[in-house]
């Protein structure tokens, strides 16, 4: 069953798929645990879709911003289709969780938002990677290019093995390169990051003005492509 679901998710267009038993979410804060969304959740099926490498080689404002936004409905569509397949095939319940928005938590003073569950932590729990010093997910094959979503299910499926750390020991390139000084090792001051990152151009199109912490990472394209 586990490998059949994984294959189906990949066939739908995801680049990676992993499984995390509910016991791995013991440290999730109150209000952001899978059980807060679906009380009978036994497993979290996590999947990701990767940006093309070429978007790291151009100014981020229009091209990177536009296609990065497109990954959100892309992975959400895969989530919905995979949830239907899980329910129809295994007579189970499957709850797709939006990979980005909408969400409830918003601290307007600090400009801090939180997803319904932490997709990065779900991905780590499902063996899809580890977190870098800038808190971005690092995957062995796709580096920091993944957009991640999840399905909560009452199926009983064993967890995948945890991934090996990918962030280079002693590397602080993302921390020291941040123009907004929004990064401390393991934390992000969202207010500083948001103010420096998002904007609009003269035509009114939304822009992404900074992806520095992503683009300077030596393992941004994965373990086999370490870039000095």
Of all residues in the chain, the percent with pLDDT exceeding 70 is 99
pLDDT, tens digit, 9 for 90 and up, residues 165-203: 999 999 999 999 999 999 999 999 999 999 999 999 999
Does 143 score more than 70 pLDDT?
A: yes
Does 144 score more than 90 pLDDT?
A: yes
pLDDT at 181: 98
Q: What would the mean pLDDT of 211-228 be, rounded to a whole number?
A: 89
pLDDT, tens digit, 9 for 90 and up, residues 105-130: 999 999 999 999 999 999 999 999 99
pLDDT at 114: 97
The whole-angstrom distance between residue 151's C-alpha and the CA centroid of its chain comes to 13
Local confidence band at 42 (pLDDT 50, 70, 90 cut-offs): very high
Does 89 score more than 70 pLDDT?
A: yes
pLDDT at 78: 99
Q: What would the mean pLDDT of 78-101 be, rounded to a whole number?
A: 99
pTM score: 0.96
pLDDT at 225: 73
Does 218 score more than 90 pLDDT?
A: yes
pLDDT at 228: 62
| Average of per-residue pLDDT values in the chain | 97
Q: Extract the tokens encoding 113.
A: 């938002």
Find where tokens 């969202």 sit: 190
């Amino acid at each position: 069953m586990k490998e059949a679901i994984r294959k189906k998710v990949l066939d739908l267009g995801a680049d990676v798929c992993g499984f995390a038993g509910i016991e791995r979410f013991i440290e999730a804060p109150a209000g952001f645990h899978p059980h807060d969304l679906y009380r009978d959740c036994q497993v979290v099926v996590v999947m990701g879709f990767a940006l093309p490498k070429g978007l790291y080689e151009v100014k981020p404002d229009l091209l990177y911003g536009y296609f990065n936004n497109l990954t959100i409905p892309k992975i959400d569509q895969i989530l919905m289709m995979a949830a239907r397949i899980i329910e129809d095939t295994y007579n189970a319940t499957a709850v797709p969780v939006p990979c980005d928005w909408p969400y409830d938590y918003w601290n307007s003073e600090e400009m801090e938002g939180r997803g319904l569950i932490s997709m990065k932590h779900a991905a780590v729990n499902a063996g899809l990677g580890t977190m870098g010093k800038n808190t971005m997910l690092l995957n062995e094959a796709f580096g920091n290019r993944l957009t991640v979503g999840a399905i909560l299910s009452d199926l009983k499926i064993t967890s995948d093995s945890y991934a090996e750390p990918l962030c280079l020991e002693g590397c602080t390139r993302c921390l020291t390169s941040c123009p907004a000084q929004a990064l401390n090792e393991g934390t992000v001051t969202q207010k500083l990051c948001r103010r420096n990152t998002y904007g609009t151009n003269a035509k009114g199109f939304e822009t992404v003005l900074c992806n520095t912490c992503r683009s300077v990472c030596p393992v941004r394209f994965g373990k086999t492509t370490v870039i000095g």
